[in-house]
Structure 1
């Protein structure tokens, strides 16, 4: 027999065969193994299966063998049982981890175990989608860990994932089972609010931009850095003049450190204003970079705001001081002059 294909079917429609193994050339008296993947949603019990072989004879004609019936026992006990699912930092706009603990529930070793996580939800994307566990002895526990990225547009609440288990059992290789995982996505855990922006900016001068931010989320942030992004005619003091000429934003960095929920902090920046800058409001972007409790770095969404550049005052603080000192000096000189005049008359 040539081009032999094995085909398995069930009387019960709740049991479906997912493949038809190709056995190739089959000599008389030869023994070959056919591995079928079966998806069963039927209750546990014994079900009749039908096996046929489809092949080509020596003349090249296609032949279908007679039907062979046998009994298949569907067991409600899965080799690998999920005993615990834990999530860490799985929140809107974040990258987090999902940990899946499993146990070998049968009396045989389960070998070459690999887990895959699949998301049908566009709001959740697996960053690391496979995890190799290896072998689990009877009664032994194992753990699979996956990294997930949650969109900033995701809705908090329960989301559906699928865990695919691929393993070897006895003489059968590459067995596959699929389990549904329900994962809870928390509301925005890391969220920044800009409480105030103060600036003292004038053309052809270096001024200050002071930003007060608040951790309005529920996650403690570590090694927090606030980044200020500007565009000409504003640049971070000490930044590259060449970058300013080609219109490339010069980011300024301010280290804050640990920022707990509801805690506020102030970031200060020195900003150069071009001499040709006109008075008015100019856009700025504020971004925060931080680490979560697991040591992973995150970057917040940019917050766009504006700062005002004011015309130089006609009288600067230095000039005002000088004028005040001059007035005081003139007043003292006038007093001395009047005293001399009085003494001369006397």
Structure 2
């Protein structure tokens, strides 16, 4: 038996595959040029919903991938007969169209765009595509979106918006030349109308409560060649949880060195500050200019786990080496003594 190719349906899928979504300002419908017989009008449409696979709670500073599953809950709400089928061929055509109309709830060419309304969460990935999703089905593969959470994002809920754009069939028409008792409908053809639909689904993401730190104040004026120079740093807990057994640590580099690069802070409650001191040596050939020294805080969280904070930069200003007056003083003293001896000898000769 010869396979009958549904040219209308094939053309519709090729249109979506080749040209993609309807551009802004263009028609929202794809309407074929051939108008055939319409026996039925179906009522219903796709109904898409989204859910996260896995956790939606993350730490500040994380870069994570969200796996979003789509499910189509669309269903046919009913049918209305538009043309009476009086002959056997018309009945066959009506039955064929009825089957096509049931595809009204299938979403085609689904494009997902994830948006963040907060500057504290950045969506780093582009649009995601699912070719088709029939009624009652869940996407075989999830949409994948990468997001970056700011290192100082306050704990709480951050709603992300998933915008879905898709096409669906909203009408089908059929026709044929004749009905053959052996091969069925001869010269069968069909036409399909497709409509563009858009929906937005909120996906909540939560940032966990934890300690977080910033440098509130710094006193760091050093000189080239200085030994045991003191820098004072005030750390503040700007997070939501208390940090216990906190220790501030430096990561020094040339022209700096230190044998005292750690300072004990202790417990630091949310909103609390603590001032600590570090001893720093500066190389004698250090260039006089502003520098930055990296620091971090190692602490114990409420679960008893050891945590190391994000790195924080301490601004340090290095001044030119202090001028030594020892050598000029010795030279001056020698000159004074020599002058005195010269005067004494002359007087003695006279």
Shorter-chain TM-score range: 0.3 to 0.5
Which structure shows the bigger proportion of residues in helix conformation? 2
Greater C-alpha radius of gyration: 2
> TM-score with structure 1 length normalisation?
0.40
Which structure shows the bigger proportion of residues in strand conformation? 1
> TM-score with structure 2 length normalisation?
0.40
Higher RCO (Cα < 8 Å, 6 or more apart): 2
